[in-house]
Structure 1
Amino acid sequence: MPEIFHPYASFGFQNRMPMRFEADVFECEIEGEIPPELEGAYYRTGADRQYPSLEDDIILAGDGMFSMFRFENGHVSFKSRYVQTERLKAERAARRRLYGHYRNKYTDDESVSNLPERDNTGNTYAFAHHGEVFALREDSRPYRLDPETLDTLDIPDFGDLKSTALTAHPKIDPHTGEWWSYGVFAAGGPTTEASLHVFDKDGTLIREELFHTPYPGLSHDFAVTREHVVFPIMPLVADEKRLRAGDQYYQYDPDLPSKWGIMPRNGSVEQMRWFDIPGIVMGHIMNAYTDGDRVIVDTPVSPGNCFCFFRDKNGNFPTMAETVTQITRITFDLSKDGDEAVTMEPLQGAYGDMPKIDDRYAMEKYRIGYFAFRDPPRMGIAQIDWDTGEIVYHDLEAAAAQEPVFVPRTPDSPEGDGYVLTVVDRFIEKRTDLMILDGNDVSRPPIATIKLPFALPMSFHGSWVAAA
């Protein structure tokens, strides 16, 4: 008997249904004029299950839905395609659901219990490097896609890489072009095994170091500066015994502090120092830099479990207040020990997540940051000036913004001189727009709005790729 589709739990305590369609829109409707400097493609990926799931599913288990807004001479066209992963192809061949809960193989149909790419959905970050486009997922090696057609090509050979996981939040060094990455649970299972790995500007593996984290916790993003690498481990803990019982992959433990490992960038993992910060959870890094003995990390943090669909060790979901994220500057003074080394400075009024910067200033001192502003019922895009502490807002009415992405006006234009692209969910019209804002001041009216005649599933992270 065919299964029905169940709502799945998403961020912000929302329940959603999958949309389940691929689309092509040639010549999108545009309000305003596209800046002539915008020539290229904006790639995004998110989660959208094509076949029914088990009840109590979460958004992170969705199949990868890869999309592209292509900009050509003032015109914009849209395309979206499922990432043709091994798991999706298996379900399409069977014409039914084969996979169960998020990262829990013990809830799958027995016919696919040994599929090595079980968790690789390509649903987290549309990433571009050395002329290639990838669909990343933090527990797997990425799929490579055709940048024009979005056809799924393969999982590339990463040389002698030992880690089974490449983070969904890689960092590109704007000076060298290196691709910095890491993987927790690097041997495949929920253990403390982890890997730091680096690829050169041509995508060749040039470094890998294995190490252990303090506990098998969640690590969705990390930070790289000119002098240091920072590994945050959050107290959402994975456990094999719990998985065998059919339970969730992560469980929040409020009695554990978050752990922050810091090592010299040109040193070794053997020089790692671990710092405790109790009572916070973070998912994303805005940017980080080193200033003498101090390592500065800017990140949205919450006072409790911001991953609202994971229970704690007592079986409880978090309250709304525990999930609110606030942009916070965390400073680690490496000349000091223990608690004295860490200071935290929450930025007042900076509520939200999905932080981005002008990537030309990654890994070093910077001035401007952008993020999806979320202080319900007020929603929009916000811009921080770290030199002055000023925040400006672009408010949205009956709508919410997804991740903002910055595109410089020219390769050598000043920091923030360019455009902010953000997808906007229009709740009343049940549509999606792509809005283009002034990167110098996002509070100004949109420069242009690309209008789609339908709604899109949530995408997590994306990249702008300029035309060759």
Structure 2
Amino acid sequence: MPEIFHAAASFGQQEKKPLRFEADVFDCEIEGEIPDSLQGAYFRAGPDRQYPSLENDIVLNGDGQVSAFWFEDGRVRFRSRYVMTERLRREREAHRRLYGAYRNKYSDDPSVSNAPARDNTGNTYAFAHHGDLYALREDSRPHRIDPATLETLPIGDFGRLQSTAVTAHPKIDPVTGEWWSYGVFARGEPTTDASLHVFDRDGKLVREEWFQTPFPGLSHDWGVTREHIVFPIMPLTADDARLRRGGDYYEYDPDLSSAWGIMPRNGSTDDIRWFRIPNLVMGHVMNAFTEGNVVHVDTPFSPGNCFSFFQDKNGRSPTPAEGVTQISRISFDLSKPAEEAVTITPVEGALGDMPRIDDRFAMDKYRIGYFALRDFPNMGIGQLDWESGDLVFHALEGAAAQEPVFVPRSPDAPEGDGYVLAAVDRFAERRTDLLVLDGNDVSRPPIATVKLPFALPMAFHGCWMEGVKAGD
């Protein structure tokens, strides 16, 4: 008997049903005028399950879908395509669901047994490096995507990389062009095995070092500065025995403090110092930089479990208040003992997530950050000036913003001088707009609005590729 489609549990205690379609819009409707300097493509990646799931599925388990907005001479063309993974190919051949719960191979149909294929969905980050476009998910090797067509290409050559996990939040060094990466559960199972790895500006593996985390916890994003590396491990633990019993991949432990490992960038993983911070859960990093002996990590974090679809070890789901994230600066003074080293400075009014910056200033002291405002019912796009403390918002009514991405006006433009691209979900109209905002002040009316006649699935993270044009 055919299965029905269930809504998947999502962030903010929402539920979302998959949309299950690929689309082309050759000339998008535009309000306003696209700036002449926007010549390239904005890519996004997110989850959208094409076949029915188990009843208690979560949004993280969706098939990867990449979408593109190509900008050329004031026109915009749109396309969305599924990442054609081995997992999706097998289900299309079978015309039914074969893979079960999130990262739980024990819940799969008996006809499939390929563990690496089951989780390699490419549903988290559309990421560009050395001219290639990738669809990333943190527990797998990235899929390559053709930036002109969105066709899925063979998985890239990662040299002698041993880690099975390549983080969905890579850091590109704007000075050297290196791709900095890491992976937890790096041998494929939920253990404390972790790997630091670096690719040069041409994508060649130049470094891999292994280390152990204090416990097998969630680590979705991290920090890299000019002088240091920061590995955050959150108190949501993974356990194979729980998976065998049919439990969730992650379980929140309110009695466990988050762990933060910091090492010199030019040192060894043997040099990692671990710091503990209780009552803190984070998923994303805005930026990190070093000042003397102090390492700063700017991040939205919550006082409790912000991954609302995972229960705690007592079977309790988090309240909405426990999952509210506030952008804060966490400073680690490496000259002090661990129990005295940490200072946390919240930014009043900066409630939200999905933080981004002008990536030309990554790993260094910077001034401007952008984020999706999530202070319900106040929703929109936020802009924070770390030097002045100014906080401005582009307010939305009956809508919510996905991740904002910054595009500089020119390669040598001052920090923040450019455009912020943000997909906006219009709930009542059941469709999506792409806003083009002034990066100097997002509170101003949109420079342009690219209007789609349908809604897009949630996308987590994306990137801009300069000069890329749409193909056939």
| TM-score bracket, shorter-length normalisation | over 0.9
Aligned-partner residue type, residue 245 of structure 1:
R
Matching of residue 252 in structure 1 with residue 252 in structure 2: yes
* Distance in 1 between residues matched to 2:71 and 2:53, nearest whole Å: 36
Alpha-carbon separation, structure 2, partners of 1:410 and 1:121: 34
1:113-128 matches, within 5 Å, as 113-128=113-128
Q: Which amino acid aligns with 1:129?
A: H
1:130 paired residue number: 130
Bigger shift: residues 152-161 or 49-58? 152-161
Task: State the alpha-carbon separation in 2 of the partners of residues 226 and 254 from structure 1.
Answer: 33
Q: Which residue of 1 aligns with 2:23?
A: 23
The letter of the residue matching 2:283 is G
Tell me which residue corresponds to 1:147: 147
**1:109 corresponding residue in structure 2:** 109
SS in 1 for 2:460: strand
Pairwise CA distance, 1:157: 1.8
Deviations 1:111-159 (A, max 9, x none): 1123432101000000000010000000000000111110101111211
1:265 and 1:111 map into 2 onto residues whose CA distance is 45
| Cα deviations by residue, 1:175-234 (Å, 9 ceiling, x for unpaired) | 000000000000000000000000000000000000000000000001100000000000
- List, as ranges, runs of 4+ consecutive aligned residues in structure 1 with deviation greater than 6 Å: none
Name 1:334's counterpart in structure 2: 334
- Amino acid corresponding to residue 178 of structure 1 in structure 2: E
**Matching residue of 1:435:** 435
Residue correspondence of structure 1 range 437-452 to structure 2 within 5 A:
437-452=437-452
Task: Say whether the 8 Å CA contact 2:86–2:117 is kept in structure 1.
Answer: yes
Q: C-alpha distance in 2, partners of 1:415/1:114?
A: 46
Matched position secondary structure for 2:215? coil
* Corresponding position of 1:201: 201
Q: For residue 7 of structure 2, what is the aligned residue in structure 1?
A: 7
Could you say what secondary structure the match of 2:168 adopts?
A: coil
Q: How does 1:347-386 map to 2 (within 5 A)?
A: 347-386=347-386
How far, CA to CA, are the matches of 1:402 and 1:13 in structure 2?
16
Question: Could you state the TM-score of these two structures normalised by the residue count of structure 1?
Answer: 1.00
Measured at CA, do residues 10 and 154 of structure 1 come closer, stay the same or move farther in structure 2, by a change above 3 Å? same
Q: Distance in 2 between matches of 1:175 and 1:157?
A: 24
Residue 168 of structure 2 is matched in structure 1 by 168
Instruction: For residues 260-297 of structure 1, give each alpha carbon's deviation from its aligned partner in whole angstroms, at most 9, with x where no partner exists.
Output: 00000000000000000000100000000000000000
The one-letter code matched in structure 1 to 2:163 is S
Q: Is the 8 A contact 2:116 2:140 kept in 1?
A: no
Listed as ranges, the gaps of 5+ residues in structure 2 are: none
**In 1, Cα distance between the equivalents of 2:115 and 2:277?**
38
1: CA distance between counterparts of 2:3 and 2:346? 46
Structure 2 counterpart of 1:241: 241
Identity within the alignment, %: 72
Counterparts of 2:219 and 2:331, CA distance in 1: 19
The 5 Å alignment of 1:35-434 reads 35-434=35-434
CA contact (8 A) 2:47 2:60 kept: yes
User: Matches of 1:160 and 1:319 in 2, distance apart?
Assistant: 44
Structure 1: distance between partners of 2:114 and 2:435:
43
